[in-house]
Amino acid sequence: MTNQSAAPAARATVYGYPRQGPDRELKKAIEGYWKGRVAADALHAIATELRRSNWRQLAEAGIDEVPTGDFSYYDHVLDTTAMVGAIPERHRASVDADALDGYFAMARGTQDVAPLEMTKWFDTNYHYLVPELGPGTVFGANSAKQVAELKEALALGLTARPVLVGPVTYLLLAKPAPGVPADFEPLTLLDRLLPVYAEVLADLRAAGAEWVQVDEPALVQDRTPAELNAAERAYRTLGALADRPKLLIASYFDRLGDALPVLAKAPVEGLALDFAEAAAANLDALAASGGLPGKRLVAGVVNGRNVWINDLQKSLSALGTLLGLADRVDVAASCSLLHVPLDAAAERDIDPQILRWLAFARQKTAEIVTLAKGLTQGTASIMGELAANRADLASRSGSPITRDPAVRARAEAVTDADARRSQPYAERAAAQRARLGLPLLPTTTIGSFPQTGELRTARADLRAGRIDTVGYEERIEAEIQEVVSFQEKTGIDVLVHGEPERNDMVQYFAEQLTGYLATRHGWVQSYGTRYVRPPVLAGDISRPEPMTVRWTSYAQSLSDRPVKGMLTGPVTMLAWSFVRDDQPLGDTARQVALALRDEVGDLETAGTPVIQVDEPALRETLPLRAADRAAYLTWATEAFRLTTAGVRPDTQIHTHMCYAEFGDIVRAIDDLDADVISLEAARSHMQVARELASHGYPREAGPGVYDIHSPRVPSMEEAAGLLRTGLRAIPAERLWVNPDCGLKTRGWPETRASLENLVAAARTVRSELPAS
C-alpha cells in the first residue's frame, strides 16, 4: 500500500477502556465504600486518578482522541438511566437522599428494596442493569457525570470524545416496569426521550466537546421496520439540532444490515463500524450503499473482544479499501476494550514466545496506532512492525501447542449415537426417582458457597509456598465439612461440596486441561465489582487426569444425602475464555466436550448420583442475528449432550443457566436433554417458568427464588410467593427449589439466612399441595 497523501491523516481512537486499574483498584475502593472503610470523597478521588491514568496512557501510546464517560462505578447502562432520570419509583427516595448510595441501591438492592434486573450485554459476558420503564415514565436530563469527565480530560490537554448509550439502544434494552403490562414497548417513549438527549448534547457542546460518540449496538440485531423507522427518526431529530457537537454513531459486535442505509443517510457526521466480527458483511454493505460521502468512518479493524494479535497487513489492506468509501477513515478497535484485560506485559508466567501472540488493551492500542500511521504514511513507515507481526503470526500457526493429533482423531470419530442418552427421559426419570428418593419440591443449591477471605488466603499461601499441598488440602476438607454440615442441618435435599478449591468456574478447569493458558493479571469486568480472569484457549484440549472426583467423593462420604458433582459445560468453557480464532468454534467445543465426558464418567464410576454441567453461557453466545443461530445451536447442544450422554439412566443430569433472556432458546434447552435445569428467575418474577410452560418443556426445572447478586436476604414469604408463581406454570412433581446462581460472591451470614428461608418456603408450599 502506498502513501495516501490526498486523504486526511487517520486518527487512532478507542470506544472505551478497562475501568478497574492495573491492580483492580476500583473494585477494592467500591467494596471498601460498601463496607464503610472508604469514604465517598476517597472513592471519587481514586476513580478520578484511574480515569486520568487511562487517558494519559492512551495519549502517550499515540491515541489521538480519548473516550470519556465510558468509566463507571458499576454499569454504563445504569449511568444512562441516571443521566435520563429514569429512576424507578421504589429507588427515588434513596437517590434523592444520596445520589451515590441510591445508585448502588439500584444495582444491588437493599434489604427492603429490590434492585434492577441484570442480564447479559448482547453476546458478551458483561452484565448490565435493565432499565424499567412505563407509560408514566418522566425523563429529565442530568449530564453532570458526562460533563465532568469530559472537562477532566480536556484539562489534561487531550482531545476527548464523550460516549453515550444511544436512545434507541437504551429503549430496546429496557423492560416494562413492575406493574406495567408485559406488552408495553419502551420504544414508544422515544419522542419523550429525545429532548433529554438534545439537552445532554447541548451541555457537552458547551463543555467543549467537538464530537460525541452515540453507541447503538442494538441496531446490529434483527430489527423490525418500526424499529428502523424509530432509529431514522431519532437521528433525523438529533441531527437537526442547532446546538450540538458532531455525532459519531457507533455499532459493534456484528453487521449493521438494514440499519446501515438508515444511519448512512442520517444527518450525522460519522459512523463507527465493526470490521473485525463482521468485516465482509459491513464492507460489502457499505460499498453497495454508496459509502459515506462527506462523513467520517471509524473502522474497527482490531478485534476488541479477543486477545490474539491482529494481522496488521490484512487490516491495513481492509483500511485501504475503505479509503474510497468515506470522507475520512480513522482506526479503532471493533468495540470497547472493556472486554479484554489491561496489559499482557504484566503476565510473567506465560512463555515469552506465546506472550507475543497475545494483545490485551494496551497492546491493541499500539496496534491501532500502528495501523493509523501506516494508513496515513504508507507501509514503508511501519515495515518493522509488519515484519515482527508476520513472525509472531507464523510462530503461532506453526506451534505444536496448537495441534494434538490424538485429540483431533478422537473428535473426528464421534458419532450421533455418542451424543444421545440410552433411554428416553420418562424412563430415566422413573429410575432417578427410585434411586434418589426425593420429596416434591426438592431443594438444592447451584454449586458454590461463599469464598471466604480465609480460602483466598490459603490459595495465595499455597502459591507462595507458605503452606504445602497437604496443609492446603486439609483446609479445603475442613471447608467442605462445614458446607455439608450446614446443608444437612438446614434440610437441603441434594447437597453440593461448595467448591472451595475453585478459584473460578472456568479457570479451575482450564488449569487442568491441556491447550489452555492461565493468566495472573488478566482481569475483565463481568458486572459491578465482579471481575474474572478468562483463560486463553490456545491449543487442542484434553484431560490428563480427573479434576473434581476427589472433592465430590469426599463430600459424599460425609452424608447419606445425594451430593452433586459440579462441572462447567463446554459452551461456557468457550464463552468465558478467550477462545482460539484459528478453527471453527464447533470443533473446539467438541474437544472440550470429550474432555468433560471423561470427567462425567469418572464421577459416575465413583458413585455420584447427580451431576450438574453448567451452561450459563448458552444464551449469551447465541448469535445476534437469527440467520446465524441454527448452526450455533446445533453444535452447542451437541457438545452438551456429548458431555453427558454416556451416563446410566439412573444418574441424574442437571444443568444451570443464569442472567440471560431464555425465551428464544427454550427449544435448544429442550434439545440439551438434561433431566433437570435450574435458571435465574427471581428478578424477572418467574418469567422463565412461564416460558418453559408455554413451550411444553417436559422435564424438571428449578426457577430461582433467591437473587444471589444482591446482598439482601429474601424472606420466607417472598421465596414462597415466587414458588407459588412457579407452580402455576410447572407441576409440583417437576419443580425444584433453588437460588438463581452460585453463592461464591455472597457472605456466610446472608447465605445462611437466605437458604434457611428457602428451605422453609419449600416446606410451607409443600404442605399446601393436595394429598396425592
Where in the sequence numbering do the catalytic residues fall? 709
Contacting residues for 391 by C-beta, under 8 A, at least 6 apart:
none
Q: Which amino acid is at 638?
A: E
Output the 3-class SS for 614-646: ECCHHHHCCCCCHHHHHHHHHHHHHHHHHHHCC
Which residue reads 481514586 in cell numbers?
46
CA distance 363 to 360: 5
Report which secondary-structure segment, H or E, holds 610: strand 610-614
Strand duo 246-250 + 700-703: pairing: unpaired
In whole angstroms, give the CA distance from residue 462 to residue 750.
29
What is the rounded CA–CA span in Å between residue 195 and residue 85?
Answer: 12
In terms of residues, how long is the chain? 772
- In our burial notation (b when 16+ CB lie closer than 10 A, e otherwise), range 656-677 reads bbbbbbbeebbebbbbbbbbbb
Positive or negative torsion for Cα 457, 462, 463, 465: positive
Three-class SS state of 491: coil
Pair 473, 536: CB distance under 8 Å: no
**Rounded CA gap, 249 and 270, in Å?**
6
Q: Answer whether 490's CB lies under 8 Å from 440's CB.
A: no
Dihedral angle sign, alpha carbons of residues 662, 221, 108, 142: negative
Q: What secondary structure letter does DSSP report for 120? A: E
Of 295, 403, 310, 410, nearest in space to 356 by CA: 310
What radius of gyration, in Å, describes the C-alpha atoms of the chain?
Answer: 26
The amino acid that residue 307 corresponds to is V
Closest-CA residue to 743 (of 729, 758, 728, 733): 758
Which residue, among 556, 449, 566, 469, has the nearest Cα to 509 in the 3D structure? 566
DSSP 3-state assignment of 413? coil
Dihedral of alpha carbons 233, 234, 235, 240, sign: positive
Q: 587 to each of 251, 358, 525, how far by Cα in Å?
A: 29, 22, 28
Cα separation, 10 vs 649, whole angstroms: 62
Question: What is the DSSP secondary structure assignment for residue 218, as one 8-state letter?
Answer: G
Q: Which three cell numbers stand for residue 457?
A: 488466603
- Phi-psi category of 465—alpha, beta or left, where left has phi over 0 and alpha has psi -120 to 50? left
